[in-house]
Amino acid sequence: MIEPHAPAPPGAPPLWRGPARLPVRPDTGRLLVLACVFVCAACGLVYELELVALASYLMGDSVTQASVVLSVMVFAMGIGSLAAKRLRRFAAAGFGALEATLALVGGCSAMALYAVFAWTGDWGGLWADGPRVLLVAFSLAIGLLIGAEVPLLMELIQRIRRQDAGGAVADLFAADYVGALVGGLAFPFLLLPFLGQLTSSLLTGGVNAIAGAALVLGLFRRDLTRRARCLLLVANITVLGVLASAAVLVDDFEQAARQAVYGDAVRVAVRTGVQEIVITGGTEGHPLDLYLDGRLRVGGRDERRYHEALVQPAMNGPHARVLILGGGDGLAAREALTHPDVRRVDVVDLDAGLVRLARTDPALSRLNDHAYGDPRVHVTTADAFPWLRGAPPSTYDVVVADLPDPGITASTKLYSQEFYGLARRALAPGGRLVVHAGPVATRPRAFWTVEATMRAAGLHTAPYRVDGRDTGFTAGPDRTADASRAPRDWGFVLATAAPGPPLRLDHDERPPHTLTQADLTADARAVEGTRVAGVRASTLIHPRY
């Protein structure tokens, strides 16, 4: 329990017998302790951000993952602070052991989390929740260790020169907060882009171990027995050896884990500034599959059915100018270009790396019929939302939203009422907007929320679906879902500013390969049977996916 504050009476002896015997002047010693606080705080925040980033990548829904990590970790920090009371008599040895443990746990957390996801993710049953359980366990363990740091550092800094508690806390927390700032900025701008998630966590663990060992074995070595010094030295050397070995093997580990997730046919695996792109197959008769951040975006066995269902119904009517939001793989553009009277196709995609692959990868460019070699296609690298804000009104006959699943947090704004209002403004008179709204069978509420949101933006809708995807690989927001929950259909919503958008194919053009008018009419009738009553529109301020 938290004990009531009672200031020590004058002359009351502290827990330690006397001032620390330092090899440097007291002022220098205090500065070194505060420098260690700075480094440890930076490392602690990197561990925290690493867990949030990796959990969001592996399990989706970044808001939920961030909330779980932060809440569990802050709770554990409080428990760790209370538990550290019993270590204050052995502050130097306790802090040294604490930092070695934290370096090992925090440094290996990302690799362990990825390993559980890769090798047990398809086991199903209780194992399907393995990554979530491990995420909570690491958040709890790291929080406990970080929380125990402050009481021990307070004892160490008071051992150098005793001062009032308020002044010591102010100095300690100032160094702690500034270190957290540096760690928080270093992770997204330096560590993640240059080293990746696994190597950056291992490097952070190494820095953490060196900082803790240097402070205790260097500055407070005279407070330790010979046995304690030897044990701490061996422990830190062991931790650094484990982290260094893991860093050397990280590329082989990542390759093996990637094969465990995607199979042995991985042909391209790159991380752009936006996402990880993996391409499997596409050669020797194997169908090409394209994964973006681990979620299936293009399934070679039936991608044509998806893209024909997405684009072709919207092309019934004037279609001289087409806007594709997303669709950096070039496959939606391919479908639009099957109509010879299309004069211009504008593709707006956030990831220039994906567009580059769609241009240069032989199998992917062959799949999209070399769409980016057509002079009618113009590419803009931008976020679709701000780009639409600056788009000229009443410009496009057809707007195709080929975007990630609405349940993915980063995509929520692209399925908001405000976004559809901007898309409506960009439509020419008689223009059509078509949206991929996620699977109907497994996520009907999200699908009908998209439809309700489009209606709230002043659009008239015609929802429909097509059967298709049966990959056993989840494509929605949650990558940990088992194969039985993998989507086996696609849901779409066609919309116009005028009432009664016609859900018909353009019979004046070459008919689609996989889609007939009879199928389209039957699928539109079938999807009405899944309608969810009472769903409300999703907005930027109140997302509902």
Active centre residues (catalytic):
402
In the three-class reduction of DSSP (H, G, I as helix; E, B as strand; rest coil), residue 377 is classed as strand
Which tokens hold the place of 104?
Answer: 């090992």
User: Which is it for strands 266-271 and 289-292: parallel, antiparallel or unpaired?
Assistant: unpaired
Sign of CA dihedral 335, 340, 341, 343: positive
What's the rounded Cα separation, in Å, for the pair 453 and 537?
A: 4
Which tokens hold the place of 199?
Answer: 């190597």
What's the rounded Cα separation, in Å, for the pair 505 and 432?
A: 13
Angular region, 278: left φ>0, alpha ψ -120 to 50, beta rest = beta
What's the rounded Cα separation, in Å, for the pair 96 and 214?
A: 9
Specify the length of the chain in residues: 545
* Structural Rg of the chain based on CA atoms: 29
User: Which is it for strands 460-467 and 289-292: parallel, antiparallel or unpaired?
Assistant: unpaired
The vertex-136 CA angle with 134 and 140, nearest 5°, equals 115
Q: Which residue has the tokens 């032989």?
A: 362
8 A C-beta contact, residue 176 and residue 157: no
8 A C-beta contact, residue 113 and residue 123: no
What's the rounded Cα separation, in Å, for the pair 391 and 423?
A: 9
| HEC-encoded secondary structure of 308-368 | HHHHHHHHCCCCCEEEEEECCCCHHHHHHCCCCCCCEEEEEECCHHHHHHHHHCHHHHHHC
User: Which is it for strands 289-292 and 295-299: parallel, antiparallel or unpaired?
Assistant: antiparallel
What's the rounded Cα separation, in Å, for the pair 233 and 205?
A: 16
Could you tell me which residues come within 8 angstroms of residue 487 by beta carbon, excluding any fewer than 6 positions away? 438, 439, 441, 442, 443, 469, 474, 475, 476
The number of beta carbons lying within 10 Å of the beta carbon of residue 20 is 19
From residue 544, give the alpha-carbon distance in Å to each of 295, 340, 407, 537.
21, 40, 9, 7
H or E element that contains 411: none
Residue type, 437: A
Q: Which residue has the tokens 């957290």?
A: 180
